[in-house]
Structure 1
Amino acid sequence: MLRPIEYKLNRLARGERPRLLDLFSGCGGLTLGFQLAGCEIVGGVEFDEHASRSHALNFHHGLRPELFEAHAAPKDITVTGPHALLRSFGIKKPDHEVDILVGGPPCPAFTRVGRAKLREVHEHPEAFRHDPRAKLYLPYLEYVKELKPVALLMENVPDILNFGGHNLAEEVCEILEGLGYRCRYTLVNAANYGVPQMRERFILVAIHEAAGAYYSFPMPTRKVIFPSGYQGTRDVALKHIVLGDLFAPKTRYVPIVESKRKSRPPVTVGEAIADLPSITGHLDGTIRRGARRFDEAVAYRSDVTPSAYARLMRTWSGFKGDGQIWDHSIRSLSDRDYRLFRAMKCGDDYPKAYALAERLFTEHLAKEKRAGRHFEPGSPEYEELRSNYVPPYDPGKFPNKWRKMAPDEPARTLMAHLGKDSYSHIHYDSDQARVLSVREAARLQSFPDGFKFSGTMNPAFRQIGNAVPPLLANALAEPLLKELGVHAGAPVDIHDDSKAQVSAAG
């Protein structure tokens, strides 16, 4: 009997589609990108109940009810073994089923922001090392050991390369090499691959040595000038990686090589969302506070010609919408915020918004004084009026808390807490004076318009913010499938208006 790896390689050589399992799948950003490249989706493992149901809604909606619910149910990878998982999906021979394994273990403990928020840090500065979330790459490796995929991809935040002064990626590679895999890793930015968002990620790809192949990371297709903060983050992450030194420790890090051909400019926020309808109900009181359920549809704007990118989002085969948008919902904020959003300039951050608020407050006080009304500083009346104009956050501590997007640039990184605090992505249209909608956030992550999100607005925002952009996943998947001898379509990137429609395999 053939070993599982040999069995899978033979099956791929016969032209069968690679079968993919997504660990820590979220709603399915990696899954969608690999599906577009040609993979058949075995399933996903996800702890969050809404994200797990979203994954099932989008990739397993045609199954009979009991199997669909098996996919939709949340799963804890620390207690759910690979064989039990696949049997719950109706698979009788788990060892022979998974060709490609992908996933991104949750990253709070890897990020400097996340580490700072751990309660134990206040008592012990090295406590983040013991955060159990930082050990979730171990169950991932256990799945590799048990399922023996031909290839795998691991995604995470750049700080995994500098985890308390330790390069965790090298440790992972050592374990994988002991299991027979050839490993390479790098840092990529989604904006370099046609995603309208600057999102820096760590990517590790490994191929079993029996395949006789080596992975090459795709060259960027877009030329992007990144703000200094992104380069700073990259420099910190790469602090312990030394290249070009014969005496430096061995590293599997491979820097991305830019194409010598003239690269095209990045996809911008305006290209991504300008065709979506305006929202002004929060300004006239017709949109009220409360949970937002996706039960009201709106039409695309008829006065805006959709960009090639927007048409791709509308026409993604298998994820075409019904000509309407069901999740174009926003958070309700305060009149103070709407006033500031309207007055801010594109690119303004929180310190500039705070200074603007102080100026508007001072102007209002002068107007009140001319009308014969005086407010004594420090009085309850004065403080109440001030709170109606000036937000309470210290501009010295929260410089990135607010930002008004520019229509002619990619967006800054979308975060998982977008549902609770979406001031980091204020719409560029001052007449709308608002933050992003759920569908706009999905567009900036490159989710097609027919992709469904389970739950209400806040869970949907969290799923989007946690996801890997599908177009980035597709760019990474295509060369991997090519190395495995699988015919895959060219990675999706919009060159011109004639290439706005794509077909997902299967």
Structure 2
Amino acid sequence: MTNQIILSKLERLKNGQKPRVLDLFAGCGGLSLGFHAAGFEIGAAVEFDPDAARSHGLNFHDGDPKHSCAIDITETHPEDLVSKLELGPVPEAFDVIIGGPPCQAFARVGRSKLREVDAHPQAFIHDPRARLYKEYLRYVDAFQPLAVLMENVPDILNHGGHNVAEETCEILEAKGYVSRYTLLNAAFYGVPQMRERMFLVAYRREVADQVTFPEPTNWLVLPSGYEGTRAVALKTVGGLFGEVHSYVAPPVATPVQERAVTAEDAIGDLPLIKARELVAAGALKRGARRFDQFIPYGKKSKLSGYAQLMRSWPGFEASPDGLRDHVIRYLPRDYELFARMNPGDQYPEAYQHAVEMFEERLTAAREKGAALKEGSDEYQQLRDSIIPPYDASKFPNKWRKMWKDQPARTLMAHLGKDSYSHIHYDSLQARTISVREAARLQSFPDGFQFSGTMNPAFRQIGNAVPPLLSKALAQTIMATLQTRIAQLQEEHVGDRTAATV
């Protein structure tokens, strides 16, 4: 029965139909966008966050309400999903499943637990860490895809004492797939961000007998922190868990390739937002940031190739009126401090700059006759208006001013809370990055729309897989499927020839 379903899907692709994708834990659609760009049809998505679900429906299904509502995968059976979307029989609905269960789902869930969860649907039903993994596997069982893509953080190679990627491959192998995983850094694939993630790809054995990963297109020397993260992850692969069958080394980037896309390449063409001037003019105030006003691009003599791509991405072209989501946080205490910081400065350096600023203003006030005694209310008010309250020894990575000539550091979902991890490199603007700048650093094109206000949009962007990296993976998967289709076509021609003879 299973083989017939797989062959039926291959026959459909052989007849010229696009592979249909189901995106689980889809977020706003970073993975979906990459697959869409590579020629896949985005059939459906499952996403729990309402704002992210609306974003996905808005961008891939023209805002169709059926595709824009939040879905709890723990309460939605595959049968319910296809019935709601009128997709026909469950096993025939999709050809590819992509996505990545949140990493919390895997904490301390070992090989024996994962196998039991897979084999017994009621096992560990009260354990949310295992439940999301169980649902992912259940969707794979129900839809019997030709290919599977999973994404997660590098720590999943040693999560709670277990190599979850290796264990996942074992389970998929038992289901009839050939599976491999590796670590890829987005900066090697044209993304202006040094984002390291684990990717697992699996094919039905009727489709392929090996897995490959895309070759890098860009080159840079990763900072020590990223190399260290990769080294730790690979150390666990190499010895902590004994024999490892499914890991493959990442494809190697070399200096002959194009240099990595820099932050300036990515956002240097966007309209200036001079935060201090806006505050002084009363044009920037506290309150929700909505995407209800266009900001014109303005003129720039020459766009980087990356900026051109972001403005002209097929199907997601920029609006001729400009940008709606080029909005920033209201952080009046810190704008002057941002201007003083040097590229690469983190919170300890920012804190020291703030102390110096406070001492300068304290001296100036005293020279004018102000009696600002240490410990007084006036003294403390002045100090609090300049110096951030965080302990510099406990939050070294909380702040960072970007370098303009390097890719940005990893964007996180925490962008939705404060954005201090990505302070604009331009001291004239002296601010944290805007929503659209965050989207550019993740490689979302300017025509991609985010539902909700500023904070939910930042969170969606930080949680996403960079679409350009997704596209590289999708193109490799598409090539594998097309190779198999070509083989089937040759076999069909051969059979007809033999019958004629």
Same fold (TM over 0.5): yes
Could you tell me which residue of structure 1 aligns to residue 159 of structure 2?
A: 163
Q: In 2, are the aligned partners of 1:291 and 1:457 still within 8 Å (CA)?
A: yes
In the TM superposition, residue 297 of structure 1 has moved relative to its aligned partner by 0.1
Matched, 1:19 2:13: no
Partners of 2:102 and 2:208 in 1: CA distance? 31
Kindly name which structure, 1 or 2, has the bigger radius of gyration based on alpha carbons: 2
Q: In 2, are the aligned partners of 1:275 and 1:304 still within 8 Å (CA)?
A: no
Partners of 1:213 and 1:183 in 2: CA distance? 9
The correspondence of residues 357-372 of structure 1 with structure 2, limited to 5 A, is: 357-372=354-369
Specify the code of the residue in structure 2 equivalent to 1:234.
R
What is the CA deviation profile of residues 250-272 of structure 1, one whole-angstrom value per residue up to 9, with x for unaligned ones? 33110113156712210011011
Q: In 1, are the aligned partners of 2:218 and 2:253 still within 8 Å (CA)?
A: no
The correspondence of residues 227-376 of structure 1 with structure 2, limited to 5 A, is: 227-242=223-238, 248-259=242-253, 262-280=256-274, 281-323=278-320, 324-334=322-332, 336-376=333-373
In the TM superposition, residue 110 of structure 1 has moved relative to its aligned partner by 6.1
Partners of 2:472 and 2:456 in 1: CA distance? 27
Could you tell me which residue of structure 1 aligns to residue 386 of structure 2?
A: 389
- CA gap 1:341/1:304 in 2 versus in 1, 3 angstroms: farther
What is the CA deviation profile of residues 391-427 of structure 1, one whole-angstrom value per residue up to 9, with x for unaligned ones? 1111111111111111111001111121211011111
The correspondence of residues 67-466 of structure 1 with structure 2, limited to 5 A, is: 68-108=64-104, 132-133=128-129, 135-242=131-238, 248-259=242-253, 262-280=256-274, 281-323=278-320, 324-334=322-332, 336-466=333-463
Q: Is the partner of 1:447 in helix, strand or coil? A: coil
Q: In 2, are the aligned partners of 1:37 and 1:474 still within 8 Å (CA)?
A: yes
Match of 1:483 among 480, 485, 490: 480
Q: In 1, are the aligned partners of 2:220 and 2:255 still within 8 Å (CA)?
A: no
In the TM superposition, residue 373 of structure 1 has moved relative to its aligned partner by 2.2
Could you tell me which residue of structure 1 aligns to residue 38 of structure 2?
A: 37
Partners of 2:127 and 2:380 in 1: CA distance? 41
In the TM superposition, residue 294 of structure 1 has moved relative to its aligned partner by 0.6
Specify the code of the residue in structure 1 equivalent to 2:329.
R
Partners of 2:107 and 2:135 in 1: CA distance? 20
Specify the code of the residue in structure 2 equivalent to 1:173.
C
- CA gap 1:111/1:145 in 2 versus in 1, 3 angstroms: closer
- CA gap 1:347/1:236 in 2 versus in 1, 3 angstroms: same
Could you tell me which residue of structure 2 aligns to residue 500 of structure 1?
A: none
In the TM superposition, residue 21 of structure 1 has moved relative to its aligned partner by 0.5
Matched, 1:59 2:57: no
- CA gap 1:282/1:43 in 2 versus in 1, 3 angstroms: farther
- CA gap 1:234/1:417 in 2 versus in 1, 3 angstroms: same
Partners of 1:487 and 1:384 in 2: CA distance? 70
What is the CA deviation profile of residues 10-47 of structure 1, one whole-angstrom value per residue up to 9, with x for unaligned ones? 22223321111100000100001011111011110000
In the TM superposition, residue 239 of structure 1 has moved relative to its aligned partner by 3.0
Q: In 2, are the aligned partners of 1:37 and 1:477 still within 8 Å (CA)?
A: yes
Q: In 1, are the aligned partners of 2:21 and 2:41 still within 8 Å (CA)?
A: yes
What is the CA deviation profile of residues 179-199 of structure 1, one whole-angstrom value per residue up to 9, with x for unaligned ones? 000000001110110000111
**Could you say which structure has the greater relative contact order, defined with CA pairs below 8 angstroms and 6 or more residues apart?**
1
Return 5+ residue gaps in structure 2 as ranges.
109-125, 486-501
Specify the code of the residue in structure 1 equivalent to 2:481.
L
Q: In 1, are the aligned partners of 2:290 and 2:453 still within 8 Å (CA)?
A: yes
Q: In 2, are the aligned partners of 1:292 and 1:457 still within 8 Å (CA)?
A: yes
In the TM superposition, residue 487 of structure 1 has moved relative to its aligned partner by 11
- CA gap 1:283/1:445 in 2 versus in 1, 3 angstroms: farther
Deviates more, 1:281-290 or 1:479-488: 479-488
Q: Kindly, what percent of the aligned residue pairs are identical?
A: 56
Partners of 2:80 and 2:266 in 1: CA distance? 41
Partners of 1:395 and 1:72 in 2: CA distance? 43
TM-score when normalising by structure 2: 0.89
More helix as a share of residues: 2
Specify the code of the residue in structure 2 equivalent to 1:443.
R
Partners of 2:271 and 2:484 in 1: CA distance? 39
Partners of 1:477 and 1:366 in 2: CA distance? 60
Deviates more, 1:377-386 or 1:473-482: 377-386
Specify the code of the residue in structure 2 equivalent to 1:220.
P
- CA gap 1:111/1:292 in 2 versus in 1, 3 angstroms: farther
Partners of 1:208 and 1:224 in 2: CA distance? 35
Partners of 1:477 and 1:431 in 2: CA distance? 40
TM-score when normalising by structure 1: 0.88
Could you tell me which residue of structure 2 aligns to residue 125 of structure 1?
A: none
Q: In 2, are the aligned partners of 1:294 and 1:326 still within 8 Å (CA)?
A: yes
Partners of 1:487 and 1:372 in 2: CA distance? 83
Matched, 1:472 2:469: yes
Specify the code of the residue in structure 2 equivalent to 1:419.
G
**Corresponding residue pairs, total:** 463
- CA gap 1:40/1:268 in 2 versus in 1, 3 angstroms: same
Partners of 2:197 and 2:251 in 1: CA distance? 16
In the TM superposition, residue 135 of structure 1 has moved relative to its aligned partner by 4.2
